[in-house]
């Protein structure tokens, strides 16, 4: 009976560690989204896109070599946003 109790206790302790890690992740994501939304609210009426605005929103911008696809010039760009990271949009 003691062995069974100790095994159950180890399992519960592992569950607690996993749940605390999950809570930490969700809390961090929530904080990052809140920070990003405050930034968006700061710039609700952008009349001109300036370098300052881009630097506040974008952490990194990756511009890839242009390609020809079906006779059209296509250029891939990936943006890593401040606070929320890379956002993948659905294909059109």
Tokens coding 31: 């904080």
* pLDDT tens readout for residues 44-61: 888 888 888 888 888 899
* pLDDT tens readout for residues 27-50: 877 877 788 888 888 888 888 888
Confidence of residue 64 (pLDDT cuts 50, 70, 90): very high
> Phi and psi dihedrals of 53, rounded to 5?
-65, -45
Q: Is 80 exceeded by the pLDDT of residue 71?
A: yes
Buried b (16+ CB within 10 A) or exposed e, 30-64: eeeeeebeeeeeeeeeeeeeeeeeeeebeeeeeee
Confidence of residue 92 (pLDDT cuts 50, 70, 90): low
Average pLDDT estimate for 67-84: 89
Measure the CA–CA gap between 32 and 24, rounded to whole angstroms: 12
- CB 67 within 8 Å of CB 74: yes
Tokens coding 25: 């992740």
Residue 17 has what pLDDT? 93
How would you classify the pairing of strands 85-86 and 58-63? unpaired
């Amino acid at each position: 009976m003691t062995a069974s109790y100790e095994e159950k206790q180890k399992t519960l302790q592992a569950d607690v560690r996993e749940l605390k890690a999950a809570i930490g992740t969700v809390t961090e994501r929530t904080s990052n989204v809140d920070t990003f939304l405050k930034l968006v609210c700061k710039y609700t009426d952008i009349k001109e896109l300036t370098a300052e605005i881009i630097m506040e929103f974008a952490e990194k911008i990756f511009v890839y070599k242009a390609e020809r696809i079906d006779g059209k010039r296509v250029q891939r760009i990936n943006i890593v946003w401040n606070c929320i990271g890379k956002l993948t949009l659905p294909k059109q």
